[in-house]
């Protein structure tokens, strides 16, 4: 598969908007040609083939589009000229609901999926099920999902009703370690992306989402909702490149695995279970994860976990590196579990989450470190079990 090459760009501004039709020249100019973005994802363009060709001719950068024969839908991706070369179209449907491209960002191969989910819940569930096959490690799914995830995503005049597709979407989020990036940055906030007046009442909801792979979260510096006069939907704006201050998810340093001790399961088990310093460290990490994962405190600086290693005392290099691996994993677990905790009535099985994340990430690192950590998973899980971690 040929991927795009991402050259010199450090920052990337990603915008998404359900435009509710883009035919009038004034609206096209305002939304596309006068907006500041590096990548623009549009839903409900309502273009026919001739309009699609016209826009492709006018736009100087890369453009990908999926139109519907009924002109009822339509999704499109615009990429700023000079920033992306040879972007690769992976898939587009015939209903104008889905378009997928691959590109490189900060030396990472990434996948961008622009969606406009169906209005009917049963159709939407089927749509989400079909989406699973396209999700990869570094993935950004953005667009109009036509569903709210929690009661916090609707205004007082709206009803949070049962929906066939919601649990399907939750499963996709948890199974693929996806993060609702706006909610991550605004855990206690109520803000909406769609506003309607129905029977004289203002109804508002957050239907437009950006779900990002946990591996890409360290790249994100902000996520905002921006009002506009051209649609009853708001812009969803994601800025990437700066990263979260003093934060970020787990990126295991493969160099730590060069230590011969990590190649022997018996030695690992001894380090995990019988080293006093590591035992103390496990207990502290356990306490921090429990406190932070279950609290309603919106101070996200508390999840940094910095400075904890200063209380470990005298450890060997192997033991100290091992504690740093555990620390990095703990920070990763906290991000994911806090994100999931924000979903109303969605209980998080932290033990399953922790062990699943650990296994998946060690498999990933193992593939790039020539098998250096293939024996780490069993001893780690055994240590967690014997330390009495119940989450």
Residues annotated within the binding site for Mg(2+) are 18, 44, 144, 146, 232-233
Distances, alpha carbon 332 to alpha carbons 216, 225, 232, 310, 339, in Å: 12, 26, 36, 20, 11
Which residue bears the tokens 């598969």?
1
Tokens representing 272 are 């995990």
What pairing do the DSSP bridges indicate for beta strands 108-116 and 139-144? parallel
Which residues are part of a known binding site?
18, 44, 144, 146, 232-233
Half-sphere exposure of residue 252: CA atoms within 13 angstroms, side-chain side: 26
Tokens representing 194 are 């769609």
Beta bridge partners of 89: 101
- Please count the other Cβ atoms lying within 10 Å of the Cβ belonging to residue 275: 18
CA distance 46 to 52: 10
Polymer length of the chain = 391
**Angle in degrees, CA 302, 304, 305, rounded to 5:** 95
With contact defined as beta carbons under 8 Å apart, do 344 and 150 qualify?
yes
> In terms of Cα–Cα distance, which of 71, 129, 133, 136 is closest to 108?
136
> In terms of Cα–Cα distance, which of 131, 126, 174, 182 is closest to 153?
182
Helix H or strand E segment including 240:
strand 235-240
Give exposure, 1-14, as e/b (b: 16+ Cβ within 10 Å): eeebebeebeebbb
CA distance 204 to 350: 32
């Amino acid at each position: 598969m040929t991927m795009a090459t991402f050259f010199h760009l450090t920052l990337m501004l990603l915008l998404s908007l359900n435009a509710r039709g883009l035919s009038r020249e004034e609206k096209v100019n305002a939304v596309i040609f006068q907006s500041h973005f590096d990548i623009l994802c549009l839903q409900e363009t309502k273009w026919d083939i001739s309009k699609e060709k016209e826009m492709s001719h006018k736009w100087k950068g890369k453009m990908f589009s999926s139109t519907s024969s009924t002109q009822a839908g339509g999704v499109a991706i615009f990429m700023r000229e000079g920033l992306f070369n040879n972007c690769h179209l992976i898939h587009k449907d015939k209903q104008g609901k889905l378009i997928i491209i691959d590109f490189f960002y900060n030396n990472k191969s990434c996948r961008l999926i622009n969606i406009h989910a169906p209005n009917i819940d049963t159709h939407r569930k089927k749509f989400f099920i079909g989406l699973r096959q396209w999700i990869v490690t570094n993935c950004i799914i953005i667009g109009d999902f036509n569903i709210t995830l929690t009661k916090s995503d609707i205004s007082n005049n709206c009803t949070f009703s049962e929906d066939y597709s919601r649990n399907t979407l939750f499963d996709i989020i948890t199974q693929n370690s996806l993060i609702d990036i706006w909610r991550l940055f605004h855990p206690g906030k109520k803000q909406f992306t769609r506003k309607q007046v129905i029977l004289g009442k203002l109804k508002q909801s957050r239907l437009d989402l950006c779900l990002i792979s946990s591996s890409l979260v360290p790249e994100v510096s902000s996520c905002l909702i921006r009002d506009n006069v051209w649609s009853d939907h708001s812009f969803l704006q994601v800025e990437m490149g700066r990263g979260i201050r003093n934060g970020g998810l787990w990126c295991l340093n493969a160099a730590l695995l060069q230590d011969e001790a990590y190649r022997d399961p018996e030695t690992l088990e001894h380090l995990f279970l019988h080293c006093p310093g590591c035992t103390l460290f496990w207990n502290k990490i356990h306490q921090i994860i429990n406190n932070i994962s279950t609290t309603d405190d919106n101070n996200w600086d508390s999840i940094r976990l910095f400075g904890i290693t200063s209380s470990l005392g005298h450890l060997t290099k192997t033991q100290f590196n091992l504690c740093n691996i555990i620390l990095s994993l703990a920070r990763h677990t906290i991000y994911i579990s806090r994100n999931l905790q924000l979903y109303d009535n969605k209980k998080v099985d932290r033990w399953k989450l922790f062990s699943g994340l650990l296994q998946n990430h060690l498999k990933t690192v193992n593939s790039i470190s020539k098998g250096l950590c293939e024996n780490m998973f069993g001893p780690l899980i055994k240590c967690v079990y014997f330390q009495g971690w119940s989450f």
